[in-house]
Structure 1
Amino acid sequence: MTRKTVRIAMNGVTGRMGYRQHLVRSILALREQGGLGLGDGTVLWPEPVLLGRRAYALEALAEKHGLDEANISTDVDAVLADDSVDIFFDAAMTSGREEVLKKAIAAGKHVYTEKPTATGLDGALELARLARAAGVKSGVVQDKIFLPGLLKLKRLIDGGFFGEILSVRGEFGYWVFEGDWQEAQRPSWNYRSEDGGGIVVDMFPHWEYVLHELFGRVTSVQALTATHVPQRWDENGKPYDATADDAAYGIFELDGGAIAQINSSWAVRVNRDELVEFQVDGTEGSAVAGLRNCRAQHRSSTPKPVWNPDIPATYSFRDQWQEVPDNQEFDNGFKAQWELFLKHVYADAPYRWDLLAGARGVQLAELGLKASAEGRRVDVPEITL
């Protein structure tokens, strides 16, 4: 067995997502399992280089997880100039992502990044072109298709369970506290459009790859956005005006004829089993998938309800659905995609979630905002490099 150390610059690891999902549950989890085997006797050993603006926060993370304090830095340019660093990962603020990814590509680093990859489609496509021209490999986090619930849903699709898929209905969101009497569970920049915030910019890239991967490419979008909570309080307890949308109600036409409707909101209280759920209806059956669970109802076992508001229901609609079994062990979705990207970089394994795929998400967010501003349906053209 040959162990190959892979140094990964991780920018933005002091943030919630960068720390919990990417550092702890992905990279450090790979170290805990002894590295990542490539199948040829080589085991990759990830060595994170922690990047951020606050040295004291990086030092605290290094101490907490037993990492070498020599592998922390607040100087992005110095880390990119280090030839021992192969991969640059970014989970910092959206508004600075395009610039830092350009620097990483110019430095010859393979890049892996959170979404959105840029603040507009032109910038996202430029990143994809730059990476291709530089001969570096790229990956964009598309974690939700690796969730157990959606993997079970895909199993149903691949098995022909639905027949012809007619529609997809998604509900996502939860109440994000304003920050005055209870601390907000999301950073304040998410609610300032000038800092790259907004639920359309954040969530429509997710919906693009979920719909594209499972049901078909999005061919048109209609959307209505809202800022339901106009004032919030930042991390220092100071009030500020929320300039970004905190809710979006979208309708998407899909290649093949299915219609998807997805509501996204940070101003909704949850009355469903999971924070996100998708109901898929087809001619032969239906299913409801969340983060972890998936329930199905086949045509042969579909009841025949009759509308009668004069008497109480004597049965539970939820009890008429059947749980889709796990049938396998599910790993953390972020970790699963990290493994695929590392195998892509070091073993040339197939990988399709690159910067061009990320640009499709930016495109859908951009056109969703346009559709809302203009009050009309907007076509979503296919993009290529």
Structure 2
Amino acid sequence: MIEMVSQGLATMEVTLKHSGSLFMYAGNRGGAYAKNSFGNIYTAVGVFVLGRLFREAWGREAPKMQAEFNDCLEKNRISISMELVTAVLGDHGQRPKDDYAVITAVTELGHGKPQFYSTPKLIEFCRKWRLPTNHVWLFSTRKSATSFFAAYDALCEEGTATSVCKVLGEIADISVRGSKDHVIVQGEILEGLVARIVSRESSVQMEVLRNFQQPSLDGGDSDLGLSLREIYAANRSDEKQQIKALLENAGSSLCSDHCDWFGNSGLDAQSRNADRSVVTHFLQAHPMDYATKKLQEMIRLMKKRNLPAAFKCYWNYQKIDSLSNDNLYYKMVIHVHKDSAFRRYQQEMR
């Protein structure tokens, strides 16, 4: 990393690792996903937390903005990924002080090649919708990059969020504060840092973003309703009731369709599994767009090389009313069983 930065080939980007679970959201119709699946307690918690973030940010305007946000995601085929940090889904070293989420990635499928937003574009997207962003530090010179690794070696055993953020702020070439302060919402115990190589253009774009103020939050004086922990406590003995209460409190503007959790048209969630032959038929079908073609290629390669993964198809209950013999809708979950599959897949793609 230091050599790439020194040669002017890249910039090193460092962010905080908030200690939670991966949660992905693609709109009311696009669905919510977590723990290699959907329609579970994790996705219900994620939808609730996302809804509460909108109420905190937009106040009385929240329902309107939630509907517009869903519309934006679905029209542009956007999926947002976030670190979902709560005290009800299991602790990761320290029980967080608050239940929240931080956006970590935005992917736009659009109608061509998928696009992963750069960090500057991600921050711009989040500020438009007043969604939480992470703290970001950029290191674009040999001196700063070398200083980062020296600081990491010195702080990795005993460094807390306060001391780590202070040091990184002093040695980074550019620092953009996150909208969620780790010390306030999670605490001093820091799970780690995420360092990666990004393009040199990130420094220029981040410099522009740094000079813009964080968007104001209009929901400070609003009634946010029951908290996540209150809902959990009130429905402790029944997970289905917990899910129902969470989705209802998230609001119909954000989540009007609960069929991923409870089924549809007399079909419960347990009967959603589709026939295993669906994957075979999918691989034999003529792709209608670039994204479908690339997905077929990926699955074929994974199957050919016997990578440790399962391909599970489910009926898409959100489109159950439009089903016909030649117009079937499914959701596919690719469950990778071992991390080694990612490394082997990358080697094959080279």
TM bin (shorter chain): under 0.3
TM-score after normalising by structure 2: 0.23
More strand as a share of residues: 1
Higher relative contact order (CA 8 A, sep 6+): 2
Give the number of the structure whose residues are more often helix, by fraction.
Answer: 2
